[in-house]
Structure 1
Amino acid sequence: MLLIYAVRRLVAALPVLVIVAVLTFLLMSIVPGDPARVLLGDSASTEQLARLRTELGLDDPWLVRFGSWFGGVLRGDLGESVFLSEPVSSIIGKRGLVSLTLAIAAEAVAIVIGIVLGVVAALRRDRWLDRMLSAGSVAGIAVPNFVVAILLIALFAVQLRWLPATGFVAPWDDLGASIRTLALPVAALAIKQAALIARMMRGSMVEVLSSEYLLAARARGLGRVRRVVRHALPNALGPTITVIGVGFGSLVTGTVIIEVVFGIPGMGQLLIDGVRTRDIVLLQGVMLTITAIYVLVMLLTDLAQAWVNPRIKPN
């Protein structure tokens, strides 16, 4: 049943990807700047610029360029970066792995902290701890990620000198060094996500804890821990999973500023470099990849909801 639903969702997502591909190509076509000028420099002659534009296909009609690029996309070929002279799929593969590592680490931290704080706040409803956690979650949501990033750098990297302010080391290269380089950017990304999860988890838990079947379980003498863990938590996770999924999609697609602040060579930094160098082919590939990741994350979110709560399984 879930497999059929997943296939249907994937088929339904194809028109979305096509529309995004067309819009991305259109937007990149009107981006100011000349890739040939960026490659050759200001000292290039008119003849040199014209020759390079012809070689790159920049003088071809829009439909011809789009057909050539989209035909390659259907074959799994995102083209070659004009500025880096390397296949776009290869560049995205390396940079995307960095962004995914950052996003997965931040999401894992946010899930653990958010669910724990949400459950604790619900169990201490209307008490001082609940009010304090609610105020903290509002602050975490309100403060922008880049402000949190700058404050973390000022405190832990500049003042205390406990952690590096910039750089990235992959976990598979050196786990200890990776944890040190990821600590601050992960914290900067996880705070807002944890706050959102905590608020949603608290609201869901309060509603579930007040339901009739939980009250009946309490009347039967079922222990508090068992009531919370076995009965309340799985039912409260449904709405929270949506926040987790949407939040993870936002983390993957919204790490641009954080990667720039911390000097992390991920998809966000790649996007900035593509704009700076007017590398249209690279920008098109990055935007299409980001959209595909977001669509996949939303599909997995729906499947996770159906798995946690069988009552909402699709037919």
Structure 2
Amino acid sequence: MISYLLNKIFYAILTLFGVVTVIFFLFNVLPGDPAQMMLGQNEDSAQLAMVKQKYGFDKPISTQYFYYLNDLSPLSFHSKNSEDYTYLRKGKYTATKLFSIGNTTTVLKLPYLRESFTKQGKKVSQVIGETLPNTFVLAVSAICIAILIGICLGIVSALFKDRWLDKAIQIFSTLGMSVPSFFSAILFAWFFGFVLHKYTHLEMTGSLYELDNFGEAMHIQWKNL
């Protein structure tokens, strides 16, 4: 049992490492400069160099990869040199120092997801934390609706076994499982938010909470689920 659990943990870590590696290198081969994205159109060469140094974008790809893994790892190594990217700055890492060897400090910390490129000065973990509650409500609602529809369609399919209605439900179920969720979401948004807008009063995009007509208070919008 223990060996089975250790096996599963090992493969989970290996899979996570593979995903992290693919995301890192995919991000680095795509066109565009993240430093320019952060500064926008008003950047100059001095600002650009400062941002690149701050986030380690001026380093070789192999060094950036090490920095990335070091930020994500709960056990990480940090330089005592304040000019180094891995310097243990206050407010950047939530860490507990374990021991120091020479110029390097080993710490135990929460994974650092870095800062948002579009919301300067804001940590990615903060951005995720702000959107996570609504995402959770949306996910649970979607699961409940899917279970309800699935049970109803299953009963109808059993009652009309091998008839045209059963075949239609099977085709609908196969399409539902085969079509990527992001594509089906666009189709649903277009159909209910644009084609049937007159009847549903829904928009193509929306939020679980919306401002009232006076812009003073936020109200929950169950119809947007």
Report the TM-score, using the length of structure 2 for normalisation: 0.64
Once the two structures are TM-superposed, the CA of residue 10 in structure 1 deviates from its matched residue by 3.3
Question: Which amino acid is 2:207 matched to?
Answer: F
Number of the residue aligned with 1:57: 56
Number of the residue aligned with 1:119: 155
Identity value in percent: 30
Cα distance in 2 for partners of 1:57, 1:137 equals 48
Contact in 2 for aligned 1:122/1:130 (Cα 8 Å): yes
Number of the residue aligned with 2:16: 17
Number of the residue aligned with 1:279: none
Cα distance in 2 for partners of 1:46, 1:100 equals 42
Cα distance in 1 for partners of 2:20, 2:175 equals 37
Aligned with 1:79 (options 84, 104, 114): 114
Give a deviation string over 1:111-169, Cα, whole Å, max 9, x none: 2211331233123212344244345446656775122321111244x212544543222
Number of the residue aligned with 2:224: 181
| Residues 112, 37 of structure 1: alpha-carbon distance in 2 compared, 3 angstrom cutoff | same
Number of the residue aligned with 1:98: 134
Cα distance in 2 for partners of 1:162, 1:48 equals 46
| Residues 6, 95 of structure 1: alpha-carbon distance in 2 compared, 3 angstrom cutoff | farther
Aligned with 2:193 (options 147, 153, 166): 153
| Residues 9, 141 of structure 1: alpha-carbon distance in 2 compared, 3 angstrom cutoff | closer
Contact in 2 for aligned 1:164/1:180 (Cα 8 Å): no
Give a deviation string over 1:267-294, Cα, whole Å, max 9, x none: xxxxxxxxxxxxxxxxxxxxxxxxxxxx
Gaps of 5+ in 2: 75-110, 210-218
Once the two structures are TM-superposed, the CA of residue 35 in structure 1 deviates from its matched residue by 2.3
Number of the residue aligned with 1:31: 30
SS in 2 for 1:153: helix
| Residues 116, 41 of structure 1: alpha-carbon distance in 2 compared, 3 angstrom cutoff | closer
Question: Which amino acid is 1:119 matched to?
Answer: I
Contact in 1 for aligned 2:116/2:123 (Cα 8 Å): yes
Name the stretch that deviates more: 11-20 or 113-122. Answer: 113-122
Query: Whose helix proportion is higher, 1 or 2?
Result: 1
Number of the residue aligned with 2:207: 168
Once the two structures are TM-superposed, the CA of residue 88 in structure 1 deviates from its matched residue by 1.4
Number of the residue aligned with 1:282: none
Equivalenced residue count is 176
Report the TM-score, using the length of structure 1 for normalisation: 0.48
Once the two structures are TM-superposed, the CA of residue 53 in structure 1 deviates from its matched residue by 1.6
Cα distance in 1 for partners of 2:176, 2:23 equals 33
Cα distance in 1 for partners of 2:125, 2:176 equals 36
Cα distance in 2 for partners of 1:140, 1:22 equals 31
| Residues 65, 140 of structure 1: alpha-carbon distance in 2 compared, 3 angstrom cutoff | closer
Give the aligned CA root-mean-square deviation in angstroms: 3.1
| Residues 58, 135 of structure 1: alpha-carbon distance in 2 compared, 3 angstrom cutoff | closer
Query: Whose strand proportion is higher, 1 or 2?
Result: 2
